[in-house]
Every structure is written in C-alpha cells, then in structure tokens.
Amino acid sequence: MSSRYDPFAETERLLDRMNRRFGDVEGWDASDDRSSSTPIDLVEHDDEFVVTFDLPGFETDDVEVRVADHTLRIEADRDESVSEDDEAYIRRERRHRSVRESVSLPDEVDTEAVSARMRNGVLTVTLPRTTAEAERTVEINEE
C-alpha cells in the first residue's frame, strides 16, 4: 500500500494541537479565557467554595488574593534578582514570572471570612457562602 504525500496533513496536525491547547474557537468567550497555563480547581460544598491554584516557584509574599462581585482574583509576581557577576548562565528563562487569574463564583461569598493558605506551591482559597436568608417577608407600614 503506497502512501501519497498530503500537503495538508501537517497543517491539520498543527490545528488539532492548537484546538487541544486553546479549545474550540467557535465557543470562545473572552470572559472565560482559559488559555493560561495555571491549573485551577473550583469545588462547591454545601457551605463554601474551595479554589485551588498551582503556583510552583511562588512564595506567599509573591501572591495577592482579592474577592469582589462574585469574582476571585489572584495575582502573583516573582522577580529573581540577577547580579552583574552572573555570567555563567548558558540559558536563563526563569527571571520573571507573572500570573493573573480570575474565577467567577456561582454565589455570593462572605468576603470577611475568606481564607487562603499556600503549601508547596499550591494556593488553596476557602470562600464561605453568605448566610443571608434566601427569602424574607417584608412588613408594609401604613402612612
């Protein structure tokens, strides 16, 4: 069985790899862009959400966690200082790394009770749900 050269085969393989990396372009939504390389897990429990981020190489002081308007925002910056005498490097790619992530939360959370911990490059943020009543009866006053 002879195989003929297909000039489009390499292009198809490249497009397949791009689709796996970036997802289906047809369904792309700018507000939910996950082309980042920071793995994120969002777990929903009865009374809280737990969000886990992989941030290898970052220290606790490098990371900022903010919560507002149903959104959890993570910003991390690591800048490795380099002295003038550091000329022994043949290749150096780890000088600066920056991560910016936003996670939309499905419900309101108690922003005062949010907690975060970092262990071995894994950031875990616990966001308790608000305890506000879902429904209440409002008394009408007569004028």
How much is the pLDDT for 89?
Answer: 73
pLDDT band, very low/low/confident/very high, at 18 (cuts 50, 70, 90) = confident
For residues 110 and 28, the model is more confident at: 110
Beta carbons within 8 Å of 127's beta carbon, 6+ residues apart: 48, 49, 50, 51, 67, 72, 105, 109, 110, 114
Calculate the average pLDDT of the chain: 79
pLDDT number for residue 118: 94
Q: What is the pLDDT of residue 38?
A: 81
Q: Average pLDDT for residues 99-118, to the nearest whole number?
A: 90
Task: Sketch the domain layout of the chain as residue ranges.
Answer: 39-82+93-128
Confidence of residue 106 (pLDDT cuts 50, 70, 90): confident
Q: Torsions phi, psi of 17, nearest 5?
A: -65, -40
pLDDT exceeds cutoff 80 at 1:
no
Encoding tokens for residue 37? 């390389």
pLDDT of 142 above 50: yes
At residue 124, what is the residue type? T
Residue with tokens 């996950």: 34
Q: Does an H or E element contain 116, and which?
A: strand 115-119
Q: What is the pLDDT of residue 135?
A: 61
Q: Please name the CATH architecture into which domain 39-82+93-128 falls.
A: Sandwich (2.60)
Which has the minimum average pLDDT: 15-29, 85-99, 115-129?
15-29
Give yes or no for residue 25 having a pLDDT over 80: no
pLDDT bracket for residue 63 (50, 70, 90) = very high
